[in-house]
């Protein structure tokens, strides 16, 4: 493992350098207690100790609305549109990196998503070890407390003025050295990083699943036919989609078209969609595969707890806790629902 030690004043110089080459985004407090990734411009204050960035980072690879084809109605011609600005996300927490790793795999399966991949290829990710844990998060019990890949650099704050920076890719190392040579980390600094990780892990474990996450697919599957359970929990579901739209591992979209004002050219674009919305599973002729809110509600837990696992061997939920906050009806919490199912099944035997 190659690692360097970077001191706080150096970060400013590095950021300046990086920003000349690509769009740099950093976590910052946008409102009391709410954090977002915003463009770094020298003025924004980096929230090194943020607990959760409010909006999912998938928007950098799968924007809420993205043009994918432009066409000419007079010439009957169409051409793909692929936009992929060079960008750097600096300060991504491990659970969010895990979510991106998962999206990378899903977007590559079957028909590779070229728009996604182009954006992804032009993105550098610098991870950051969290120091605070969001009230709603439970990532430590979803196998998302640390990641082995998916970052170009991984930063851990080991003292108020220093970072232990682990190298994840050659490109990452290069970026670290743009301003000149940097100091190799010592064994003691590596140890400090390990301790920082253990500290936040202990904090994170306060909110966790009550059982080993690997059991989730089997548990949730056993509950599939428990209509009473799903109906009861979903009674106050507003079918608003917030829980899936904020989710870093959800990737569903709808495809639409619009003509220009002269009705000569047009564009086909995609736009976020999600299985919690009623129109999502509606097909031509008006048939809907998941007509009722409870079926959609159940489907989401099946996706997160089983279907994604069947494809990738990991859960479709990394425990960031965004959906828990986003759901105004307070019924979208996977930790609560999976724990409840586990309890119920445990008591059966």
- Residues near other proteins (CB under 8 A): 30-31, 34, 36, 54-55, 59, 64-65, 235-242, 245-246, 258-263, 271-272, 274, 277-279, 293, 325-326, 328-330
CB of 310 to other proteins, least distance (A): 27
Among 53, 88, 167, 243, binds ligand SF4 (CB under 6 A): 243
Range list of β-strands (E), the chain: 3-7, 23-31, 34-39, 65-72, 77-80, 87-92, 123-128, 153-159, 162-167, 183-184, 253-259, 265-272
Q: Which is nearer to other proteins, 65 or 177 (CB)?
A: 65
Residue 4 or 269: which CB sits closer to ligand SF4? Answer: 269
| 71 φ/ψ angles, rounded to the nearest 5 degrees | -135, 160
303 binds, among other proteins, ligand SF4, none (CB under 5 to 8 A by kind): ligand SF4
Residue 270 in contact with ligand SF4, rule: CB under 6 A: no
Q: Is 239 in the site for ligand SF4 (CB under 6 A)?
A: yes
Can you tell me whether residue 228 is helix, strand or coil? helix
CB of 110 to ligand SF4, least distance (A): 14
Number of residues counted as binding ligand SF4 (CB under 6 A): 35
Task: Find which of other proteins, ligand SF4, none residue 251 binds, CB within 5 to 8 Å per kind.
Answer: ligand SF4
Interface with ligand SF4 (CB under 6 A), residue from 113, 192, 322, 338: 322
Q: Which of 62, 128, 158, 331 binds ligand SF4 (CB under 6 A)?
A: 331
CB 22 to other proteins: min, Å:
21
Could you tell me the end-to-end alpha-carbon distance of the chain, in angstroms, rounded to an integer?
Answer: 47
Question: If binding is defined by CB under 6 A, does position 292 make contact with ligand SF4?
Answer: no
Is the CB of 48 or the CB of 95 nearer to ligand SF4? 95
CA distance 131 to 156: 9
d(CA 274, CA 282): 12
Give the C-alpha distances (Å, rounded to integers) separating 163 from 9, 113, 158, 159, 192: 11, 36, 5, 7, 10
C-alpha span between 121 and 159 (Å, rounded)? 33
Shortest distance, position 238 Cβ to other proteins, whole Å:
5
Q: How far is the CB of 298 from other proteins (least distance, A)?
A: 16
Alpha-carbon span 305 to 293, nearest angstrom: 18
Residue 64 CB, nearest approach to other proteins (Å): 4
At residue 133's C-alpha, the angle toward residues 131 and 137, to 5°, is 150
Report, in Å, the least distance between residue 229 CB and other proteins: 18
- What residues have CB less than 8 Å from 137, skipping those under 6 apart? 51, 52, 95, 204, 207, 319, 320, 321
Among the listed ranges 22-30, 203-211, 272-280, 281-289, the one in contact with ligand SF4 (CB under 6 A) is: 272-280
46 binds ligand SF4 (CB under 6 A): no
Could you say whether residue 305 binds ligand SF4 (CB under 6 A)?
A: no
- Tell me if 193 contacts ligand SF4 by CB under 6 A: no
Q: Least Å distance between CB 258 and other proteins?
A: 6
Alpha-carbon distance of 27 to 43, in angstroms, equals 13
> Based on CB atoms, which residue is closest to other proteins, 106 or 240?
240
Beta bridge mates, 124: 88
Q: How far is the CB of 2 from ligand SF4 (least distance, A)?
A: 31
The alpha helices in 109-152, defined as continuous H runs, are 114-121
The token pair that represents 147 in the structure block: 């990641």
235 binds, among ligand SF4, other proteins, none (CB under 5 to 8 A by kind): other proteins
d(Cα 143, Cα 317) in Å, to the nearest integer?
10
């Amino acid at each position: 493992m190659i690692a360097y030690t970077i001191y706080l004043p150096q970060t400013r110089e590095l950021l300046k350098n990086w920003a000349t080459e690509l769009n740099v985004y950093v976590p910052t407090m946008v409102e009391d207690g709410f954090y977002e990734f915003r463009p770094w411009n020298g003025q924004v204050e980096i929230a090194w100790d943020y607990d959760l960035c409010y909006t999912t980072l998938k928007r950098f690879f799968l924007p809420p609305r993205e043009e994918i084809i432009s066409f000419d109605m007079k010439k009957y011609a169409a051409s793909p549109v692929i936009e992929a600005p060079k960008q750097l996300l600096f300060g991504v927490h491990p659970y969010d990196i895990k979510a991106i790793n998962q999206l990378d795999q899903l977007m590559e399966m079957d028909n590779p998503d070229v728009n996604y991949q182009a954006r992804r290829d032009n993105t550098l990710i610098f991870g950051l070890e969290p120091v605070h844990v969001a009230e709603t998060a439970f990532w430590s019990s979803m196998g998302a407390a640390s990641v082995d890949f998916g970052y170009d650099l991984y930063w851990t704050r080991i003292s108020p003025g220093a970072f232990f920076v682990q190298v994840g890719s050659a490109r990452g190392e290069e970026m670290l050295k743009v301003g000149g040579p940097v100091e190799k980390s010592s064994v003691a600094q590596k140890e400090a990083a390990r301790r920082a990780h253990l500290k936040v892990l202990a904090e994170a474990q306060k909110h966790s699943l009550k059982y080993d996450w690997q059991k989730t697919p089997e548990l949730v599957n056993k509950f599939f036919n428990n209509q009473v359970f799903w109906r009861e929990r979903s009674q106050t579901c507003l079918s608003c989609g917030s829980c899936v739209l904020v989710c870093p591992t959800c990737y569903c979209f709808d495809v639409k078209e619009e003509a220009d004002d002269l009705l000569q050219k047009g564009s086909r674009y995609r736009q976020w969609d999600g299985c919690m919305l009623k129109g999502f599973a509606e097909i031509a002729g008006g048939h809907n595969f998941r007509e009722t809110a409870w079926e959609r509600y159940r489907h989401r837990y099946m996706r997160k707890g089983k279907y994604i696992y069947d494809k990738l061997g990991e859960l479709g939920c990394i425990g960031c806790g965004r959906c828990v906050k986003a759901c105004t009806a307070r019924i979208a919490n996977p930790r609560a629902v999976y724990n409840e199912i586990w309890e119920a099944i445990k008591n059966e035997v």
